[in-house]
Chain A
Amino acid sequence: MLAFVLRRLFASAVTLLAIVVLSFVLMRAVPGGPFDQEKPLDPRIRERLEASYGLNDPIAVQCLRYVGKLLRGDLGPSLRRPDASVNSILAAGFPKSALLGGTALLIALLVGGLAGVYAALHHNTIRDHAAMGLVMIGVSIPSMVLAPLLVSLFALTLHWFPTSGWGTLGHLVLPATALGLAYAARIARLTRGGMLEVLRQDFIRTARAKGLSEAAVVRRHALRLGLAPLVSYLGPATASILTGSFVIEQVFAIPGMGAHFINAATDRDYTLALGTVLVYSTLLVGLNLVADVSQALLDPRIRPG
């Protein structure tokens, strides 16, 4: 097991390096630059700016310099925001996105997991169809529709929560629900599917034949394997939910990380864009590793050699 983890760790590091280099080169291949604006800068001033950030050096040199700094934990200055470093921008935004995403994930797991198990246990009954019908609605309503609906009802009409903003628990409820429900729907479908497959298997019949109660069968035997598809989905899903949602953070004016993914790219703020890519891919690679390891622990048939 340890050898497996170490091997995967090494592979992850190589993947990350490839992502950085590739993103660096691709980003610079796109026309436009961080100092473009409708009113062009004085050419001499522009040249000085580009020189001071080293943007005139060959791409390979710039890339090497970037990776060198990266190894020391420095993501560089933001090209569009002279008062801030990329480290400081991400350090301010990530915890907010992560708190929002974490809460949303809890809601999603609770609602989705329960709905999935419930539907699987009442397979092909009216309860199953009702639960899955609701889930289908959940999958189909994009958060950019759901979020304003929630605001309109719970903030503007009932005045239970503020319309948007950040800072108190009340600010967290609506965005976490809007973000969580979309994931809950997918989780419910995965859980139901996984459970159904397991419930049909021989060892479950054996367990039932032994005289175990249905609850014990589900808890002790079925859940463990039935959750396997969910676990492999949760790796990438967690990475994406923790790094923030552009739509939700826009609608609720949350100063998280979500907007940087889009804005840094359109602003050609190369360093900030690379920083967001790096945070996201590190989480993605790391959580996939965690998912693989937990799957091995859950399912005795998947044991790394």
Chain B
Amino acid sequence: MAIAVLALLGGWAMVLLARSREAPPPLPPYEVPALAPDEPLPPPPSGRLASRQVLRLNNSAEPATLDPAKMTGLHELNVALALFEGLTSLHPRTLRPVPGVAESWDVSPDGRRYVFHLRPARWSNGGPLTAADFVWSWQRVLDPATQAKYASLLYCIEGARPGSGPPGFRALDERTLEVRLEAPTPYLLELLAFATFAPVPRGSVEAHQERWTRPGSLVSNGPFILAEWRPFERILLRRNPHYWDAGRAAIEEIDVLAISDAETALKKCLNSELDWIRELPGEKVAAAARLPGFRYAPQLNTYFFRFNVGRPPLDDRRVRQALNLAVDKESIARYLLRAGQRPARSFVPPILPGYTPPEGPAYHPEHARRLLADAGYPGGRGFPRLALLYNSSGSHQQIAEAIQHMWKAELGIHIALTNQEWGVYQTSMQNRDYDIARSSWVADYADPSSFLDCFATGSGNNRTGWSHAGYDEQLALAARETDPIRRMALLREAERILVCDEMPILPLYFYVNAYVVHPRVRGVYDNWRNFHPYQYVYVAAD
């Protein structure tokens, strides 16, 4: 028996080897769709629908929690999106804030006071959802006992910071909520769609404590309810009949799987056991590109390197500029990454409506050599031995090797490569114990400030030691500016200082998200956050 099995497998391995083809050509760089800012919401499902409206999707990992107040990661937010809805929700295509539980809102002229008018919404147990529910839920987020990791998102609200007095939100009546802000926050409406601001069911939380997120006790207000939760395996969601827009949601049931191995997920897709893979690592893109439902979309996510400006010669702007100019980002994107990424000449990805980032200098090895010579290292002579740090996973090593080679070939300097396991790397970054380090940044909201605030003096995300009065000033002016066009101009000037003059960073490329959605599944739109509200999704008939 064993002999037969092994012989069969051997033969099969030969067949597979014979079938394997040459590597496919690289994917073309993504195109940014032109979208009107006032794009209407997609129409309800049209055409013939499949009789079984079931969605089987891979979320790639087990969510750490189903309590929206405690969530931080995408794998949690993907489920929160089905279960909970905040005052606002996001347009599935443009990600512009659209009414959620709040039907409408008024903003004061100084942009610091919002009044939200709630619709007559209900919880999944039929109980009314009121302004007091939001007040209680937000107070819960701010309560240290809750251990909400992203409580700091609420700090744009007056008095929300620890020890700064009673928080500036209150229920004016059952269906009216007032929010007062520290400063005008143009992205507040978008922020309110984030899970941290979602209402949670007071009765259930108080009765079950931290066990309230189990099926049965998890009362929710979004388009779906939690039917079953088998940890590390699947989460089963069912349509919530009490959702205010229940008429729109066509999907009856969502099976959210936690398959971490991308190859396994792809095989499930091939075998029609799965309809939707939310994310694919770069090395699986070539294999997935052959599937009919393969797609990729630009993300508000930048891959870059930090220079530790506290360590000479990286304190010299010319050295940082030389290192930037000597890297051929175009080749790295096209020949190494091959999955539709675009090389980065700015820190903010050029996909935000209303904001055109400044263009940093192009690849120019000759100029780079001159700059390095001006800094006192002609032909790289006398340049100290620096190390490039990256965390040991994915394609970071290949990218680091390519850059190491470019610097050697163009500038004549030798940079050592150091890789560290994720946790160790995090500690090195926190302690600024590196020379040059691989980094990435994802925006929390669609605004350039979500990127640019990182490099303000004293920001916890700076981690380069770089500090520039002019940069800080532009950001401060922008934070006070209420005119959106003038504000964007200020932010653009700040970014110009960052990526054209000072260069404490080396932006390398902008991420894309590669994913697979079965062609039968409709209503999933490419967007920069891989964010797909499930009430717009439906399954068309074959």
Contact = CB atoms under 8 A, between A and B. Distances in A.
Interface of A: 30-33, 35-45, 48-49, 52, 80-84, 88-89, 92-93, 111, 115, 130, 134, 137-138, 146, 148-153, 155-156, 159, 162-166, 177, 181, 184, 250-253, 255, 259, 266, 268
Contact of B2 (A38, A134, A164, A268): A134
Contacts of A35: 149
Interface stretch (B266-274, B337-345, B398-406, B497-505): B266-274
A105 to B, nearest CB: 16
B231 A164 contact: no
A255 to B, nearest CB: 4
Contacts of A250: 260-261, 264
Instruction: Please list the 7 inter-chain residue pairs (A to B) with the smallest Cβ-Cβ separation, ordered nearest first.
Output: A32-B423, A255-B232, A42-B152, A255-B233, A31-B427, A36-B426, A253-B259
A84 B232 CA distance: 12
21 contacts: A33-B427, A42-B155, A44-B162, A45-B152, A52-B147, A82-B64, A82-B65, A89-B231, A134-B6, A149-B9, A149-B13, A152-B267, A153-B9, A155-B267, A163-B267, A163-B271, A250-B261, A253-B258, A259-B260, A266-B421, A268-B423
A48 B423 contact: no
A49 B151 CA distance: 12
Contact of A36 (B1, B155, B257, B427): B427
B interface residue count range (under 10 / 10 to 19 / 20 to 34 / 35 or more):
35 or more
B144 interface: yes
Contacts of A43: 460
Interface of B: 1-3, 5-6, 8-9, 12-13, 16, 64-67, 70, 72, 144, 147-149, 151-152, 155, 162, 210-211, 213, 230-233, 257-261, 263-265, 267-268, 270-271, 273, 421-424, 426-428, 430, 439-442, 460-461
A152 B12 contact: yes
A173 to B, nearest CB: 12
B67 A82 contact: yes
Contacts of A45: 148-149, 151-152
Nearest to B274: A163
A301 B148 CA distance: 63
Contacts of A41: 149, 152
Nearest to B257: A253
A194 B65 CA distance: 52
A19 to B, nearest CB: 22
Given A36-B430, A149-B12, A30 B151 contact: no
A298 to B, nearest CB: 26
A93 B162 CA distance: 39
A13 to B, nearest CB: 31
A236 B477 CA distance: 66
A165 B273 contact: yes
A156 B151 contact: no
Contacts of A83: 64-67, 210-211, 213
A42 B162 CA distance: 11
Contact of B6 (A82, A84, A138): A138
Contacts of B440: 38
Most buried by A among B70, B162, B422, B461: B422
A149 B6 CA distance: 11
